Structure 1
């Protein structure tokens, strides 16, 4: 009896402590009049995500749309308060004007348990990030991208050979293709060539080691994404339990690949204009930012410009781990985000045959000129319109984040509030990219695929900061030029030879599956392909 009483007392004490803790934690927004959803103890607003009832796109869309008059709203990532910015002027202040208050991403990966991911450009913070950005920036100018186009074209040729072989072996004049698999294999081979100097054909050799390791590293499982949230919300807990994002085998594979390639090139004097070469040049301090190289060579409307942060000279010494980490993050971005963008671009072209035929006509006209290089691809105006619209409709980055590094006055959340919200150092905010792209006040009929939004007559109507497929401000995506070039070369080569159309397995209308955090359609990404006559 006495034991039972003690147990009840302890249970009551624990519940009381939990209640007091939750009441304190979940009062951060209400005391300032910041609108937010009702919370569940310890889960905050993450229940629908943890239990896979909603995709992140839907999650952010609800937060964005529920309170239309708010400048910002709140959400709780478990017990961590996070603001979601809705006001355009506030967004520009945070991302550009007052950037020094929001210098970093919120994700904090301890380098003791995950030395590779913890040293990437995405996770570095403060001055280290500035220095790494400055070192890498010259590697992503248009002048450097020009040299990589032949490598991308070679990969595209491999893809077309594989598709033609499948069509020839088919008893019909068409085949149904898993376009996500097609795009990931294409993106994998592009990165293998442009980053690591490897010639890989994942269409003919689907089980090659590079593709298998890349797929494991970039195709984040549900458990891996929870670890991402964990590193953001509970960094000390993740360190205590040693929960790394990358497995030991993944880290070892990339470490050996980068270091062995660099060593081999040094010993044999091999020079190849790819990412490994540029990293080697950067380490030696030989890369400089050439202002003239980008004046007439934007990769398209979606291109983001490098800020002054990325144009400064840096003399910092970098370790081999630092260099390997940058090669890895370049690989991850190229494998997952670019392949996702290409997958949805193919989907929209299949569902919009008039757009596809107009683009195919432009491509045939360009092909007749006999010239196919970086400059000629960028001069194709309708191709840029189509790619720009696809990135608006399906931005691979659903949202981005910023960490407040010194207290900042965000102002009042709405016209009725009486108190300014002071964001504390260490707190973070989200910028819901997809929600802005799908807001009808900025893009009429936002779920319609309409490349004409980006025509010469219309693109000036797009409000600054409402379109941000590669982020905005100094911490935007450093590889926008490469990603756009890769997408354009792929779709150029594909539509030159192949016609896309829906098949019985094509999901119409599009609905995102909730069993992954990545952008995936429920029912898969199958389309029908046949050779153009």
Structure 2
């Protein structure tokens, strides 16, 4: 009886401690006098996530609610994690660029021991991130892009052959699925040196696992919320986020590819070659004079994985949404096609690296697509030290606090982009772009922690779109969704159904 009573007392004490801890967390902003919306005790301000809203809409609603508050940031609860939700572009610039040294970390979960595929450049913090960023920066220079360029063009040429075959049989096609196959083949070739053949094989492994990697997690919403709210504790508890079959597939592919290339001394001038070169360097000297070791095979695995997933999804979605808007706006499509024809005439009808850089209006179309359909809705940062917002001494970001910059919501702010839901590529003319702060456009982030694969993503999107628009005329049809219905369970901006357009060969 005494033991039962003792256990009861311990349980009550633990419950009281947990309740007090959660109360302190969920009243964090109230105690500081910072505007916030009353959170759900478990889900915070994302109670509707995966039910009726995707993450983009959750952040947009929060941004719209407080946009006129004049506060540099407001409170936002990501599960139980109190996050400084940035509204002011000047503060965004301080976080991303001016005071980057205090906000270089993201505070994301990764576990290099038990979940090695999670320890990639996008998630890593501290010295690990800085060392890896330095090591990998050399793999994304303009010179390295030129090496990969012919490979991308060859996949694009195969893409055009497949497209002509399909259009001759049925002019109405799911363009979102087809551009996904194109980017899978590009990334598979450039990252792994493997001919994925997903353009012709609907059951291709890379396409199958590429799609599953974005939506399948090891845990449900509750445990994923715990990992997101308490990443360091989750790491100490040796929690794993990546589904095992996803890890098994990419680990097998990477280890086999590395082994074959090293054994047979194969050189392809692709991303995997560069990773293997970094792996086999026992020591290297960084720009700051620091001497570091080469990559481990686990680091090679993680970087190859994130390069594949990031390059596949962002580029294919951007291409799909761009073609959707061009089909709805034929006058813009005609202008893009005229530019492509004029530029190709100057380059003897050859798609060269220099040629695609001259497609200025096409690039405006891509940028406007990235603004209107921002694939990843936000940027995450974490304060290393207590930070008083310049010009706003009442607003303080405490050491260790998470910071969120809602890039997608900023891209739809009518005070920055008038009539934000209209597709207008002229917003990104040199004249209009010069009139906006640089941090008003954040599809690739900004500052030292911007997207390292920016050049590659732009290159494959330009080549793919230029080839498609040169060869086909796109228009809407009865199967074209209008409006688009987004998948609430997808963190990136995914749609529920296919993106059907009518194509006519030119």
Q: Same fold (TM over 0.5)?
A: yes
TM-score by length of 2: 0.90
User: Residues 490, 450 of structure 1: CA spacing in aligned structure 2 closer, same or farther, 3 A cutoff?
Assistant: same
5 Å-filtered alignment, 1:240-255, equals: 243-255=239-251
User: Residues 477, 231 of structure 1: CA spacing in aligned structure 2 closer, same or farther, 3 A cutoff?
Assistant: same
Could you tell me which residue of structure 2 aligns to residue 73 of structure 1? 74
Could you tell me which residue of structure 2 aligns to residue 304 of structure 1? none
Which of 162, 169, 185 aligns to 1:189? It is 185
Deviation of 1:77 (Å): 1.4
Which of 174, 178, 187 aligns to 2:174? It is 178
Could you tell me which residue of structure 2 aligns to residue 401 of structure 1? 380
Could you tell me which residue of structure 2 aligns to residue 160 of structure 1? 160
Note the residue ranges of structure 2 that are not aligned, 5 or more in a row: none
Q: Report which stretch shifted further, 233-242 or 87-96.
A: 233-242
| In structure 2, C-alpha distance between the alignment counterparts of 1:481 and 1:287, rounded to whole Å | 27
Q: Does the CA contact (< 8 Å) of 2:39 and 2:45 recur in 1?
A: yes
In the alignment, structure 1 residue 376 sits paired with structure 2 residue 376: no
In the alignment, structure 1 residue 60 sits paired with structure 2 residue 59: yes
| In structure 2, C-alpha distance between the alignment counterparts of 1:453 and 1:35, rounded to whole Å | 32
Could you tell me which residue of structure 2 aligns to residue 169 of structure 1? 169
RMSD value, Cα: 2.9
5 Å-filtered alignment, 1:45-194, equals: 45-49=45-49, 52-67=51-66, 68=68, 69-117=70-118, 119-170=119-170, 174=171, 176-194=172-190
Q: Does the CA contact (< 8 Å) of 2:56 and 2:408 recur in 1?
A: yes
| In structure 1, C-alpha distance between the alignment counterparts of 2:80 and 2:164, rounded to whole Å | 53
Could you tell me which residue of structure 1 aligns to residue 483 of structure 2? 509
| In structure 2, C-alpha distance between the alignment counterparts of 1:288 and 1:367, rounded to whole Å | 42
Could you tell me which residue of structure 1 aligns to residue 298 of structure 2? 321
User: Residues 516, 162 of structure 1: CA spacing in aligned structure 2 closer, same or farther, 3 A cutoff?
Assistant: same
Per-residue Cα deviation, 1:324-363 (whole angstroms, up to 9, x for no partner): 2111111110122222212211111111111111111111
TM-score by length of 1: 0.86
Deviation of 1:19 (Å): 5.3
5 Å-filtered alignment, 1:418-429, equals: 420-429=394-403
Deviation of 1:288 (Å): 9.7
Per-residue Cα deviation, 1:416-437 (whole angstroms, up to 9, x for no partner): xxx6333222220101001111
Could you tell me which residue of structure 1 aligns to residue 254 of structure 2? 258
* 3-state SS of 1:116 partner: helix
Deviation of 1:517 (Å): 2.5
| In structure 1, C-alpha distance between the alignment counterparts of 2:376 and 2:290, rounded to whole Å | 30
* 3-state SS of 1:74 partner: strand
Q: Does the CA contact (< 8 Å) of 1:362 and 1:380 recur in 2?
A: yes
Q: Give the paired residue count.
A: 498
Which of 343, 346, 363 aligns to 1:366? It is 343
Deviation of 1:253 (Å): 2.4
Which of 272, 277, 292 aligns to 1:276? It is 272
In the alignment, structure 1 residue 235 sits paired with structure 2 residue 231: yes
Deviation of 1:10 (Å): 10
